[in-house]
Structure 1
Amino acid sequence: MHASVTPRIEINLAKIAYNANQLLQLYGAKGIGIMGVTKVVCGNPAIAEVLVNKGIGVLADSKLENLRKMREAGIQAQFVLLRTPSLSEVNEVIAYADISMNTELAIIQKLSAIAHAQNKRHQIILMLEMGDLREGIMPADMAGFIAEVLALPGVQVVGLGASFACFGGVKPSAVKMDELSAIVQGIEDQFSLPLMYISGGNSANYNWLMEVKDTGKINNVRLGESIYLGREPVFREAISGLFTDAFTFVTEVIEAKVKPSVPYGEKGQDAFGNLPQFQDRGMMRRGLLGVGEQDVLVSGLTPQANIEVLGSSSDHIVLDLKKSNLQVGDEVSFSLNYSALLSAMTSPYVLKAYTH
């Protein structure tokens, strides 16, 4: 089939809308609100608009550039910087984020100074280290940390949060969530501090949510993968009733020839410094696609037809065409995992095409 421009990523906005709505109901039934995470879709305004229209009023992204893009597109939401700001970007944080996640006093002091000078009040969520060992203040240090932050003008502590299943793969288990609730309760009591956001984690919290009766103090999660791909990240399993195919990566065949299955000649490294190994399958019909690692993370693509990805270089994917009758110019569609989605949405070489 010959169609529009390739490579492209086809984005089904209706399926994203459906997933967002289902998850809002699912988490809402247990008193948990959702921050829609836009980082994997690069703060795409069309997708952000869908989330807001479905009732997700808080959008979170790890890139200030994405927050700026959504603001300038007129998206009506509260914007959260999903990671600790760097000192060099504090001015932009005050300009583009309503809320930022923080773990370092030096950065909060600078946020305070700039917000105060502009007569603004910047909201912050303090992140706790709960074992995944990415960002976070150690629980034993939290009370002292908050005492210092509360003395600063121009900033307001509106929540506590924790990250799971990101760097260390630590699951947001019932034990971890109870621990987080207990820490929050202690902080609220000690400082008479009402906290708006107790953000217990991300899409990885799905299994906890389904099993737990009492969600404790947790009233917020940050969802990206489960909205866009209909999966939970701990085991990458599909969530019942959600679409897992809201995104499709499409490219086209630029060469189709019968060739040997094993490279011949003196061997050295490949384009990425590896020493590739090949299985001898005799002569085979091989296909070449005009995309590679510079366009998308090839290892995260799964062909929708009965063909096999043999490997890739920076701008080619090599296929075993098997029994398919794919010819030059024919389109090949792939489903994407989270990493491939991130790379394709970030790539300037991949057209973003919307379907309803």
Structure 2
Amino acid sequence: MFVSRPTVAEIDLGALRRNYAALKVYAGPQIGIVPVIKADAYGHGAQAVAACLARAGVPGFAVSTVPEAQVLKGAGIKETFLILGPLYEDDLPLVIRGGMIPVLWEAESAARLSALAVAAGRRIPVQVKIDTGMHRAGVMPDTARDFIALVEALPGLELCGLLSHLAVADGELAWERRYTAMQASRFAEIRAALESEKTTAAMVFHLANSAGLLRYNFPGCNQARVGLALYGSYPDAALRGRIKLHPVMTVKSGIILLKKLKPGQSVSYGCLYTAREEVTLALLPIGYADGLRRELSGRGEVLVRGRRAPLIGRICMDWTMADVSEIDGVAVGDEVVIMGRQGDEEISVEELAASLGTIAYEILCTWSERVRRVYKQP
């Protein structure tokens, strides 16, 4: 009997530190790396990730929401948090307390933040987001200078940076490169106009995400926001040769039961799988409630004793079945790797994403809280 549920996500904080160090070297001394730890650090556990990187000297982090930052501040993380998402009325008192840098792109939030800052006798650092082509949040380029002037005129606010977000930096097709160049050019024009009007030596300018950092050089920018690469995944396979990254997360379970299926016997809901010959079935305590996608039913694989074992039958909310007939010595209690390396074999997050027609970001973010995070210290 297992002491505890064997379905866990093992988080290698040493790999995280190595990735951060490698990205710093790759970026060079003029570019500061801003670790993106939104969405619970892409499923890795934001508190542990932030604490680890803070010990490595990271000056600040990027998150999506004020509550994400507040939870981390409450856990003792003292570094500054860049808030990438929108501000809400409930957020403003927390921002006023300090330790956060909100990103602004619309006048109402800027005015409300200014009024509260003045009332509290505070001066709040802010950054402005420019929509250079993503066409989500951000100030359009033709109104950017007016909005920047508005922010600079509001009491209680201090403009400390400009940013934008790249739409197709992970692609290497000709049109994708042209589109990224267009975004970079728009951002550079706004930055240059600002630099012609004021001293910007103390300001930060950032456009690159993981793909942008690894594929392009953006003169005039002095920061890059890095998420996916920090966790050891490549935004595009073509970038593998540029930097050595180490996967930080391994998802594991264990064999809870072995049983024989006779020819003609079926397993799981819908009788999706029927044995044609005797099959050794391994029952695994992991299912779609844990984040193992139901679409992998009958076509996914796991690693047992360093070998691939096909999934059979329909993945359930709590259970998954694998055919381990071809694996010698298999036993109850054996470790099963769902995502990661075991021996010489590996099922990477990129492989899982490709088999599901999605991206590595989604795979990492959707392992549920039921999958206990276990941390390997560096």
Q: Is the 8 A contact 2:10 2:376 kept in 1?
A: yes
Which whole-Å CA distance do the structure 2 matches of 1:66 and 1:125 have between them? Answer: 18
Distance in 2 between residues matched to 1:87 and 1:261, nearest whole Å: 63
The alpha carbon displacement at 1:140 in A equals 0.8
1:194-233 to structure 2, matched below 5 A, reads 196-209=203-216, 212=217, 215-229=218-232, 231-233=233-235
1:32 maps to a residue whose letter is I
Pick closer, same or farther for the CA change 1:2–1:315 going to 2, 3 Å.
closer
> What is the CA distance between 1:161 and its match in structure 2?
0.8
Q: How far apart in 2 are the matches of 1:36 and 1:4? A: 33
Whether the aligned pair in 1 keeps the contact of 2:261 and 2:275 (CA below 8 Å) is no
Question: Percent identity of the aligned residues?
Answer: 25
Is residue 317 from structure 1 mapped to residue 320 from structure 2 by the alignment?
yes
Q: Distance in 2 between matches of 1:140 and 1:286?
A: 63
What is the alpha-carbon distance in structure 1 between the residues aligned to residue 235 and residue 246 of structure 2?
A: 13
Query: 1:303 maps to what in 2?
Result: 302
How far off its partner does 1:277 sit?
11
* Aligned pairs for 1:95-134 within 5 A: 95=97, 97-134=99-136
Which deviates more from structure 2 when the two are superposed, residues 139-148 or residues 95-104?
95-104
Separation (CA, whole Å) in 2 of partners of 1:124 and 1:318: 51
Aligned position for 1:273 = none
Residue 163 and residue 234 in structure 1: after superposition, are their counterparts in 2 closer, same or farther (change >3 A)? farther
Displacement of 1:241 in angstroms is 4.8
- Structure 1 pair 220/107, CA: closer, same or farther in 2 (3 Å)? same
Distance 2:24 2:3 in 1: 36
Letter in 1 for 2:37: T
More displaced, 79-88 or 142-151? 79-88
Contact residue 44 and residue 249 of structure 2 kept, 8 A: no
Indicate yes or no: 2:57 matched with 1:50. no
Measured after TM superposition, the shift of residue 237 of structure 1 is 5.0
Q: Which residue of 2 aligns with 1:354?
A: 375
2:357 corresponding residue in structure 1: none
Shift of 1:139: 0.7
**Aligned match of 1:185:** 192
Structure 1 residues 193, 207: CA separation in 2 closer, same or farther (over 3 Å shift)?
A: closer
Q: Indicate the residue corresponding to 1:332 in structure 2.
A: 336
Post-superposition CA distance 1:16-48 (Å, at most 9, x none): 11111111121124x211111112146633321
User: Alignment partner of 2:374: what SS?
Assistant: strand
Q: For residues 89 and 277 of structure 1, what CA distance do their matches in structure 2 show?
A: 50
Cα distance between partner residues in 1 of 2:121 and 2:264: 67
TM-score normalised per structure 1: 0.81
Q: How does 1:22-171 map to 2 (within 5 A)?
A: 22-29=22-29, 31-39=30-38, 40-41=42-43, 44-95=46-97, 97-165=99-167
State the distance in 2 between where 1:5 and 1:16 align: 25
Distance 2:169 2:95 in 1: 24
Q: What RMSD, in angstroms, separates the aligned Cα atoms of the two structures?
A: 3.4
- Post-superposition Cα deviations, 1:66-116, rounded to whole Å, max 9, x if no partner, equal 322322232231111122223342223334642112222111212222222
SS, match of residue 220 in structure 2 = coil
Corresponding residue of 2:364: 341
- Distance in 1 of aligned mates of 2:181 and 2:265: 52
| Distance change in 2, residues 1:42/1:109 (3 Å) | farther
**Paired letter, 1:114:** L
Are 1:288 and 2:283 counterparts?
Answer: yes
Segment drifting more, 314-323 vs 148-157: 314-323
CA distance in 2, matches of 1:243, 1:69: 28
Matches of 1:322 and 1:105, distance apart in 2: 64
Q: CA deviation at 1:49?
A: 2.2
User: Kindly tell me: are residues 256 and 76 of structure 1, through their superposed partners in 2, closer, same or farther at Cα, counting changes over 3 Å?
Assistant: same
Change (3 A) 1:178 1:166: closer
Q: Structure 1 unaligned runs (5+)?
A: 271-275
Q: In structure 2, what is the Cα distance between the partners aligned to 1:142 and 1:204?
A: 25
Write the deviation string for residues 128-171 of structure 1: whole angstroms up to 9, x where unpaired: 11222232211111111112212211211111111124899866
Structure 2: give runs of 5+ residues left out of the alignment.
341-348, 350-359
Alpha-carbon distance between aligned partners in 2 of 1:67 and 1:239, rounded to the nearest angstrom: 34
SS of the residue 2:57 aligns to: coil
CA distance in 2, matches of 1:103, 1:302: 45
What SS does the aligned partner of 1:313 have? coil
* Number of aligned positions between the proteins: 339
Amino acid at match of 1:189: S
TM-score by length of 2: 0.77
In 1: Cα distance, 2:274 partner to 2:302 partner: 22
